[in-house]
Structure 1
Amino acid sequence: MNTLQTVDRALRLLALAQREPVVTLARAADELGVGTSVAHRLLATLEANGFMRRSLDGPGYRLGPAMTSARPAHADTDFTHLIQDDLLELQAATGETVEFAVLEGQAVRYIYGIASQHHMRIEARAGTILPAHTSACGRALLATLTTEQLRRIYPNEPLPQAVKTTTPTRTALEAELENVRRRGYARNVEETQPGIAALAQTLPTPQGYPPIAITISGPQARLCFTREDPRTPSETALTQALHQATQKMQAKLTSKLQH
């Protein structure tokens, strides 16, 4: 196999991994029209150089840390496998809908969620995209950025908004993100949708993986949050449960993803 052919096949494997979350050995061999031994050597070489990594939730390979900037932020769906039990525990402890999301430019994308069992509830929104500057999970993730990074995402002072929000401008958003850092979590009281309130906290991930945000949401009629005072009994209780859950999830991710 000559050098140009090897490069061509390696690039085709990387393109395949961008289209499909997990690439098995058989799938790689089929894509390239080669035997599994050839496909294995190529995958092993890409893995050794950080372009691919072994999947954590079954056989196969995913894009590696060297390709972080090239893969969709929501490609790391194996996070679901790792923290699903903890999300179930959090949902049971709070009684409200719990989800996790990733940042995609000026938006957040919900990846996975578990809906509340209450009759009046927020349904899980996997695949839903919301404005980052108005949502709790978006604010939690934006708060991890530097001022320079934030201003690259929002180059203009006025910010787009579909509903009345406390952060209509970049200046207001920057002030709110300081509050998020001080509190340790983000909140949203009927800013993405009337009648819905939410809390969110970032879940730091090992180097090479995008940070994610864990969020708890429910009907404002039951949660009774106020925009002025974050110390209501319901918000205090939910914040404590969220903090404990994210600490547990972080320890699990660190253990699994660094070994």
Structure 2
Amino acid sequence: MPTLIPSAARAMAVFEVFAREKRELSNSDLARLLQLPETSTSDLLHTLHSLGYLTRTARNRRFYPTGRLLEIVRQIAENDPLGVVAREAVERLAALTNESAYFSVLEGQHVRVVAVQPSREPLRYIVEVGSHAALHASATGKALLGLLPPEEARAMLAKSGMRRLTERTVVDPDKLMAEIAKMRQRGWYDSREEGSDGVYGLAATGWLAGTPAGVALAGPTERVKKNRDAYVAALLEVRDTVLDKE
């Protein structure tokens, strides 16, 4: 049976405290916030400082994290299997359609974008890695809801608030769930100017190592509408390459 290592847990707790407090902290500050004796806190901070994870201010000798942990996390993220698959998927989809392609995962009541390949067209949809899309008003949001049992999807929608973003945003949960059921049957999802005026999105979803994930494209409504059949074919081809349906 694995054993919890208290010293490792305390080291991680130090960074959680700094993230919460957002300021330089003294040994006594950290001892109080960690609920540890000052002697134990001093040893812990000395170790993290010696390893380069903490620095000390010149004037008051308070502690604050360095960028070393961030750099290590960045290097890990670059080789994250999810990130690798996501980048490959959006590069392929953008090459096939020349529309902005993005890969997203379900995060709480939001859709989080983890990879983007922008279109080369002057008029294009712009989305950034790390941004969030509304569950009820984006093609990917609907597609991710379509992966869930209906009662779970409804509960998630209720928590999300279903705010009206454009005149076409569907804010009636019954109507939206009926739309999602129809889209699930055909195998792909869309959002026509429901999240942003003038933007038409297409999405398909599946599972990546047990994580609900989706690949999507978006662009100006008229261009996507004109090329929709070809775009859907490309979308499903990429989806079937990188995601499991079950």
Q: For this structure pair, what is the TM-score category when the shorter chain's length is used for normalisation?
A: 0.5 to 0.7
- CA distance 1:14–1:119, change in 2 (3 Å): same
Alignment of 1:215 onto 2:208: no
Distance in 2 (CA, whole Å) between partners of 1:195 and 1:31 is 53
Shift of 1:78: 4.0
Shift of 1:194: 0.8
User: 2:8 maps to what in 1?
Assistant: 9
Q: TM-score, normalised by structure 1?
A: 0.63
Shift of 1:11: 6.2
Distance in 1 (CA, whole Å) between partners of 2:203 and 2:178 is 17
- CA distance 1:205–1:9, change in 2 (3 Å): same
Matches within 5 A, 1:1-259: 6-10=5-9, 12-13=11-12, 33=47, 78-155=81-158, 159-165=162-168, 167-207=170-210, 210-223=211-224, 225=225, 234-250=227-243
Q: Structure 1 regions of 5+ residues with no counterpart? A: 21-29, 35-56, 63-75, 226-232, 255-259
CA contact under 8 A between 1:166 and 1:172: conserved in structure 2? Answer: no
- CA distance 1:58–1:218, change in 2 (3 Å): closer
Shift of 1:172: 0.9
Shift of 1:123: 2.0
- CA distance 1:125–1:83, change in 2 (3 Å): closer
Q: Structure 2 regions of 5+ residues with no counterpart? A: 20-43, 49-72
Structure 1 counterpart of 2:227, one-letter code: S
Q: TM-score, normalised by structure 2?
A: 0.66
Tell me the percent identity.
25
- CA distance 1:148–1:8, change in 2 (3 Å): farther
Q: SS at the partner of 2:119? A: coil
Matched length: 193
CA contact under 8 A between 2:89 and 2:215: conserved in structure 1? Answer: no
User: 1:257 maps to what in 2?
Assistant: none
Q: SS at the partner of 2:106? A: strand
Structure 2 counterpart of 1:101, one-letter code: S
Q: SS at the partner of 1:122? A: coil
- CA distance 1:31–1:179, change in 2 (3 Å): farther
Distance in 1 (CA, whole Å) between partners of 2:189 and 2:82 is 21
- CA distance 1:95–1:148, change in 2 (3 Å): same
1:40-73 per-position Cα deviation (integer Å, ceiling 9, x unaligned) = xxxxxxxxxxxxxxxxx9986x9xxxxxxxxxxx
Q: SS at the partner of 1:211? A: strand
Q: SS at the partner of 1:33? A: helix
Q: SS at the partner of 1:155? A: helix
Distance in 2 (CA, whole Å) between partners of 1:146 and 1:31 is 47
For the aligned residue pairs, the C-alpha RMSD in angstroms reads: 3.5
Shift of 1:77: 5.4
Distance in 2 (CA, whole Å) between partners of 1:101 and 1:15 is 31
1:111-152 per-position Cα deviation (integer Å, ceiling 9, x unaligned) = 220100011111232222221101001000011111221232
Larger Rg: 2
Distance in 2 (CA, whole Å) between partners of 1:32 and 1:77 is 31
